[in-house]
Amino acid sequence: MSSTFDTVANIIAETCDIPRDTIKPESHAINDLGIDSLDFLDIAFAIDKAFGIKLPLEQWTQEVNDGKATTEQYFVLDNLCARIDGLVAAKGA
Amino acid sequence: MRLEYFQLIDRIIELDLDARTVRAHAQVPQTSTIFEGHFPGYPLMPGVLLIESMAQASGWLIIGLTKFERMPFLASVREAKLRTFVLPGQVLTLTAGIVHEGSGFTITKAAVEAGGKTVANSEITFRVTPFPHPKFRAGMEQVAAAINFPLTARG
């Protein structure tokens, strides 16, 4: 079974045509990989489907806009994957 | 249809919020200034307007599902297929269904049919946000009334 990171990295590589080997756990989806908000919708769709969850993008965006969170908390892939794992665990609880 | 005004839906025929589908009718006008250029001497319904008509049908479905609290904005069009010419006067049936409702975005599959045949289809992504201004919602409510958008689907 592939890890959450592998699944997410593969989705990003395929959706955004980014070489898979440049996508690292410490990569920031926006700042390092240059993914824009429209491409991130496609990524969110693929993540929602792959993990059977609904990434709360609106809530995250609001928190960043309100200064309550940083983009690193949500868009550095390690952190993103941890949040995906949390959502999957919450779904199964 | 009033092409110049981007009114591409004449009437909502069915809005099924449980099945998350919509069906609408539209008739391509016999005359339009758009046909003067598209094309001189050989009027054809522009493919981009067929795509817009699918987006509008999808949009009304999303507005229904969000109880008129949110407005869908076209974000991307995937695999749009324009399968045959659509001519002035043709009666079209527009259909759409939900593929995925994400957080702040929705993806639909939509089609245009004429004479029982699919003439166009596409997968469409929308950003879905609260109405940016009450006037915007009021304007959309007026359009909704004009195209028989079901009253029960309004918030």
Specify the CATH number for the domain of residue B130: 3.10.129.10
- Whether the per-residue pLDDT at B155 is higher than 80: the answer is no
Any chain B CB within 8 A of the CB of A38?
Answer: yes
CATH of the domain at A88: 1.10.1200.10
- Domain hosting B28: range is 3-142
CA B68 to CA B140: how far, in whole Å? 9
Q: CA angle, B151 as apex, B148 and B153 as ends, to 5°?
A: 105
CA B155 to CA B153: how far, in whole Å? 7
- Domain hosting A26: range is 4-92
Q: How many domains does chain B have?
A: 1
Q: B149 lies in a domain?
A: no
Closest C-alpha among B117, B84, B94, B85 to residue B26: B94
Q: B81 lies in a domain?
A: yes
B106-140 tens-digit pLDDT? 999 999 999 999 999 999 999 999 999 999 999 99
A5-54 tens-digit pLDDT? 999 999 999 999 999 999 999 999 999 999 999 999 999 999 999 999 99
Q: List the catalytic residues of B.
A: 38
> Burial of B59 by CB count in 10 Å (0-12 exposed, 13-18 middle, 19+ buried)?
buried
**Chain A residues lying within 8 Å of B76, measured CB to CB:** 38, 41-42
Mutate: best of B73, B79, B105, partner A, most A CBs <10 A: B105
Q: How many domains does chain A have?
A: 1
Q: B124 lies in a domain?
A: yes
Per-residue pLDDT at A16: 95
B1-49 tens-digit pLDDT? 999 999 999 999 999 999 999 999 999 999 999 999 999 999 999 999 9
Under 8 Å between Cβ of B128 and B39: no
Query: Least CB-CB distance to B103: which of A38, A42, A55?
Result: A55
By C-alpha distance, the chain B residue nearest A59 is B103
Q: B42 lies in a domain?
A: yes
Q: B152 lies in a domain?
A: no
Q: What is the mean pLDDT of chain B?
A: 95
CA B89 to CA B12: how far, in whole Å? 19
Asked if A58 lies within 8 A of B76 by C-beta distance, the reply is no
Q: B154 lies in a domain?
A: no
Q: CA of A72, closest CA in chain B: separation in Å?
A: 19
